[in-house]
């Protein structure tokens, strides 16, 4: 026993352990390819066709009954330059329109402010198409669906008289907002690339109204933009005129203020008329001279004083010229020469020498007195110069203080003059702007114009029957394919060999192909395999017959039992086909038939079961008949019935007599005989019908077979359906066919 992702798989011995089979929760599938989709649609063609036809019918009804919508188009073209004379910045007064400006125009034309003006101009508040608060009126272009909805709402809605309607109506502003919203939803504005043209498209159920509204929106937008520009220009002119008056008054007041300020502060406008500054310049010159004189006098005084202090009185003449001092110096020189002459002739104490010394001393005292007088005179001169310089300094300081006050006053006056100049410049600019915006020059040209008026549409834009039908067909096709996929996911019937192998845990021995021709002249699958051994069905039976060689049994014949979960899955047909392949291979073959009805193997071969079953030595209740024909090989058919104790002797007897024993067991849905036969056979082949056998039935059958722990050789996926008479046919029974068959069975019962 081994474990796989799908459950337990029995070992080849197969009889040592009990197995429990379970239904898969989710069938593994990697995806749907083209072939898978075609096969899926073939299986569930009834569902696919029903959904497709239903979708097409609904599409046609939709195309016929939907409300017809007409579209009218008008166009507006804008000038290259956007004229805005009211702008303060000169560069913005005539600006070239770019993408951002055009996008802004798109937003403006879709704004509620502009659309509100259109609603007011066309009185759309009184139109029930846009004011949904009003009672709706009938429309000849309204489709059946809209009429049906309107009739239903009128039928279920309470009956209202005009008074009730008027009492229910909300305010005019709310109705206007509703009309604006409806109009916004009924038209679109578009622009191609960098074009300066805009296209307005209006959708309406009435073609005349659609064209009228499209023209009204285009023309009203042109007039509205021109009106907005004119109003902005007039408002700018009024503002500039007010500014001019205000600035003129302010300029006059500032001029009066400057004149009064200049008069109060004794200010002059001409620098030549400023006396105070002239006096200051003169005093500065005098102060400079006085300071120079003071410095010279003081330096002479100090120098002379230093010479006297050093005892060099005679050198004072270098500082200041003095005739008395010059005479005294000359006299001193003469006396010194005289003393020198006398000293050379006479002794030191001679009277003449003493007189000369006395005269020299007297002359020195006179020179000292003269020098002191000169120094005192110099000191007096320096003092006088200092006093004079101090006086000039005081006068200069007073004048500077006055001039400082004058300077502050002049600064204030210049500030007032600058303010006056600024106001004058503003006044000049305002006057210049007023000249540019003079309203007497005429109305301003609109920056946009209507390039194309709307044509009354003659055919509806929607619905387009061809487009709706094609789209509906594509949608219905996609929906039908999705429905087929969903049905395939929900369908638990077996279609592929992989599904059978996943549940059995054993290989699919062979997949019986669809038979491309019916069995002719009432022939069974035995004759068909013998007559057409190279057909796909014959090859499948031959391959299935070779599977008996894999059965491990030392001696005697090998017993293979074919069983199916329910009736009509082709088990008997496959048993006859295997028997034909074995008989053709010169094997001693016997077909054990437990079905004595007209659908049994013997009946299909034309062999009637005997009424009395003769007794033989070992196996009781056994009757063997042979099918012999010059064109067909010999095939023995054993008719048997279930009793309590004859199964084992029957199997032993058949093993001795034949090489291959094929047991056509009853289906597990009707009888339990196959469950008890499973304990005595060598191998079991489970036959399932593709598209008919469900996982639940197969799992139930396998679980019932596992009671006796049989060896299941493998499965056979039968893709051929079985007719009422047991003949093999082409068609595969789908899910809808199965439902109808079950319904017929219930009615018959």
462, with CB counted inside 10 A (0-12, 13-18, 19+), is middle
pLDDT band at 30 (very low <50, low <70, confident <90, very high): low
* Res 547: pLDDT: 77
* Res 67: pLDDT: 82
List pLDDT tens digits, range 514-562: 765 555 555 678 888 888 888 888 888 888 888 777 776 666 788 899 9
Higher pLDDT residue, 371 or 121? 121
Higher pLDDT residue, 30 or 7? 30
Mean pLDDT, residues 270-298 taken together:
70
Q: Which residues contact 469 (CB under 8 A, 6 or more apart)?
A: 56, 59, 60, 63
Mind spelling out the 3-state secondary structure of 461-475? CECCHHHHHHHHHHH
**For residues 710 and 717, what is the distance between their CA atoms, to the nearest angstrom?**
20
Of 298, 129, 259, 109, nearest to 191 by C-alpha is: 109
157, with CB counted inside 10 A (0-12, 13-18, 19+), is exposed
Lowest mean pLDDT among 352-356, 372-376, 443-447: 443-447
Query: Is residue 70 within 8 Å of residue 460, measured between CB atoms?
Result: yes
Residue 431, classed as helix, strand or coil, is helix
Higher pLDDT residue, 549 or 197? 197
Asked if residue 653 has pLDDT above 80, the reply is yes
Asked if residue 723 has pLDDT above 60, the reply is no
Mean pLDDT, residues 115-139 taken together:
85
Higher pLDDT residue, 361 or 653? 653
Q: Which residues contact 1 (CB under 8 A, 6 or more apart)?
A: 8, 9, 10, 11, 16, 17, 19
Domain range summary for the chain, segments of one domain joined by +: 34-64+463-490, 65-238+442-452, 271-422, 494-748
* Res 32: pLDDT: 74
Query: Is residue 1 within 8 Å of residue 8, measured between CB atoms?
Result: yes
Cα distances (angstroms) measured from residue 199 to each of 191, 282, 355, 408: 6, 87, 143, 69
* Res 318: pLDDT: 59
List pLDDT tens digits, range 60-89: 888 888 888 999 999 999 988 877 776 767
DSSP-assigned beta bridge partners for residue 623: 639
Residue 717's φ and ψ, nearest 5 degrees, are -95, 110
Asked if residue 712 has pLDDT above 60, the reply is yes
Average pLDDT of the chain is 77
Asked if residue 705 has pLDDT above 90, the reply is no
Could you tell me the two tokens for 144? Answer: 């059946």
Higher pLDDT residue, 441 or 224? 224
**For residues 88 and 103, what is the distance between their CA atoms, to the nearest angstrom?**
23
**For residues 463 and 103, what is the distance between their CA atoms, to the nearest angstrom?**
31
* Res 746: pLDDT: 45
What does DSSP say about strands 558-563 and 683-689: parallel, antiparallel, or unpaired?
A: parallel
**For residues 580 and 529, what is the distance between their CA atoms, to the nearest angstrom?**
6
**pTM here?**
0.50
Higher pLDDT residue, 701 or 340? 701
**For residues 50 and 460, what is the distance between their CA atoms, to the nearest angstrom?**
31
* Res 425: pLDDT: 92
The CATH superfamily of 494-748 is: P-loop containing nucleotide triphosphate hydrolases (3.40.50.300)
Residue 633's φ and ψ, nearest 5 degrees, are -70, 170
* Res 690: pLDDT: 87
* Res 322: pLDDT: 63
Asked if residue 136 has pLDDT above 50, the reply is yes
For 740, other C-beta atoms within 10 Å of its C-beta total: 13
* Res 211: pLDDT: 94
* Res 632: pLDDT: 59
List pLDDT tens digits, range 657-683: 888 889 888 888 878 878 888 888 888
Higher pLDDT residue, 603 or 469? 469
Residue 533, classed as helix, strand or coil, is coil
* Res 45: pLDDT: 83
**For residues 203 and 68, what is the distance between their CA atoms, to the nearest angstrom?**
10
* Res 626: pLDDT: 57
pLDDT band at 727 (very low <50, low <70, confident <90, very high): very low
Mean pLDDT, residues 405-410 taken together:
79
Asked if residue 627 has pLDDT above 90, the reply is no
Asked if residue 501 has pLDDT above 60, the reply is yes
Lowest mean pLDDT among 176-185, 473-482, 628-637: 628-637
* Res 17: pLDDT: 44
Mind spelling out the 3-state secondary structure of 591-619? EEECCCCCCCHHHHHCCCCCCCCCCCCCC
Q: Give the rounded percent of residues in the chain with a pLDDT score beyond 70.
A: 73
């Amino acid at each position: 026993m081994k474990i796989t992702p799908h459950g337990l798989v029995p070992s080849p011995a197969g009889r040592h352990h009990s197995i429990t089979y379970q239904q898969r929760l989710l069938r593994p599938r990697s995806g749907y390819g083209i072939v898978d989709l075609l096969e899926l649609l073939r299986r569930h063609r009834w569902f696919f066709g029903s959904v497709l036809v239903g979708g097409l019918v609904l599409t046609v009804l939709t195309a016929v009954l939907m409300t017809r919508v007409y579209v009218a188009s008008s166009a507006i073209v804008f000038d290259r330059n956007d004229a805005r004379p009211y702008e303060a910045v000169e560069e913005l007064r005539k600006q070239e329109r770019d993408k951002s400006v055009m996008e802004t125009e798109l937003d403006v034309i879709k704004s509620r402010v502009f659309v509100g003006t259109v609603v007011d101009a066309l009185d759309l508040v009184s139109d029930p198409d846009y004011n949904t608060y009003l009672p709706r009126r009938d429309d000849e272009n309204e489709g059946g669906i809209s009429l049906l909805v309107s009739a239903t709402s009128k039928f279920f809605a309470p009956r209202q008289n005009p008074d009730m309607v008027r009492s229910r109506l909300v305010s005019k502003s709310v109705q206007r907002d509703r009309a604006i919203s409806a109009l916004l939803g009924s038209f679109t504005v578009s622009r191609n690339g960098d074009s300066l043209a805009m296209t307005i498209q209006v959708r309406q159920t009435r073609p005349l109204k659609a064209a009228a509204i499209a023209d009204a929106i285009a023309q009203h937008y042109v007039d509205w933009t021109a009106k907005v520009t004119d109003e902005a220009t007039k408002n700018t002119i009024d503002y500039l005129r007010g500014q001019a008056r205000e600035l003129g008054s302010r300029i006059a007041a500032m001029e009066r203020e400057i004149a009064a300020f200049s008069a109060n502060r004794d200010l002059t406008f001409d620098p030549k008329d400023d006396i105070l500054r002239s006096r200051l310049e003169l005093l500065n010159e005098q102060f400079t001279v006085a300071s120079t004189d003071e410095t010279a006098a003081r330096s002479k005084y100090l120098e002379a004083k230093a010479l006297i202090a050093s005892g060099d009185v005679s050198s004072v003449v270098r500082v200041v010229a003095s005739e008395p001092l010059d005479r005294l110096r000359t006299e001193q020189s003469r006396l010194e020469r005289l003393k020198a002459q006398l000293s050379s002739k006479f002794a030191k104490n001679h009277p003449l020498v003493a007189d000369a010394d006395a005269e020299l001393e007297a002359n020195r005292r006179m020179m000292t007195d003269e020098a002191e007088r000169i120094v005192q005179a110099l000191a007096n001169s320096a003092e006088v110069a200092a006093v004079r310089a101090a006086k000039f300094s005081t006068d200069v300081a007073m004048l500077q203080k006055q001039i400082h006050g004058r300077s502050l006053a002049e600064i204030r006056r210049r500030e007032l003059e600058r303010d006056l100049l600024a106001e004058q410049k503003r006044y000049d600019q305002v006057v210049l702007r007023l000249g540019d915006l003079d309203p007497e020059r005429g109305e301003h040209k609109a920056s946009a114009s209507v390039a194309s008026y709307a044509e009354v549409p003659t055919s509806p834009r929607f619905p387009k029957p061809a487009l709706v039908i094609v789209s509906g067909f594509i949608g219905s096709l996609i929906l039908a394919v999705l429905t087929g996929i969903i049905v395939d996911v929900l369908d638990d019937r077996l279609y592929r060999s992989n599904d059978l192998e996943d549940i059995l845990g054993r290989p699919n021995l062979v997949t019986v192909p669809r038979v491309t021709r019916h069995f002719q002249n009432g022939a069974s699958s035995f004759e068909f395999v013998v007559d057409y051994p190279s057909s796909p069905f014959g090859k499948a039976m031959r391959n299935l017959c070779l599977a008996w060689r894999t059965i491990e049994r030392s001696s005697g014949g090998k017993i293979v039992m074919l069983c199916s979960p329910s009736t009509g899955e082709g088990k008997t047909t496959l048993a006859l086909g295997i028997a034909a392949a074995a008989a053709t291979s010169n094997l001693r073959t016997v077909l054990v038939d437990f079905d004595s009805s007209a659908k049994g193997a013997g009946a299909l071969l034309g062999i009637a079961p005997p009424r009395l079953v003769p007794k033989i030595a070992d196996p009781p209740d056994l009757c063997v008949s042979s099918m012999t024909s010059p064109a067909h090989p010999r095939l023995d058919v054993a008719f048997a019935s279930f009793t309590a104790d004859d199964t084992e002797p029957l199997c032993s007897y058949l093993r001795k007599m034949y090489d291959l024993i094929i047991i056509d067991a009853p289906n597990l849905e009707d009888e339990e005989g196959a469950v008890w036969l499973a304990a005595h056979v060598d191998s079991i082949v489970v036959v399932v019908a593709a598209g008919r056998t469900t996982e639940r039935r197969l799992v139930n059958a396998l679980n019932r077979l596992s009671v006796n722990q049989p060896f299941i050789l493998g499965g056979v996926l039968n893709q051929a359906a079985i007719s009422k008479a047991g003949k093999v046919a082409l068609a595969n029974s789908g899910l809808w066919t199965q439902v109808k068959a079950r319904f017929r069975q219930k009615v018959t019962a």
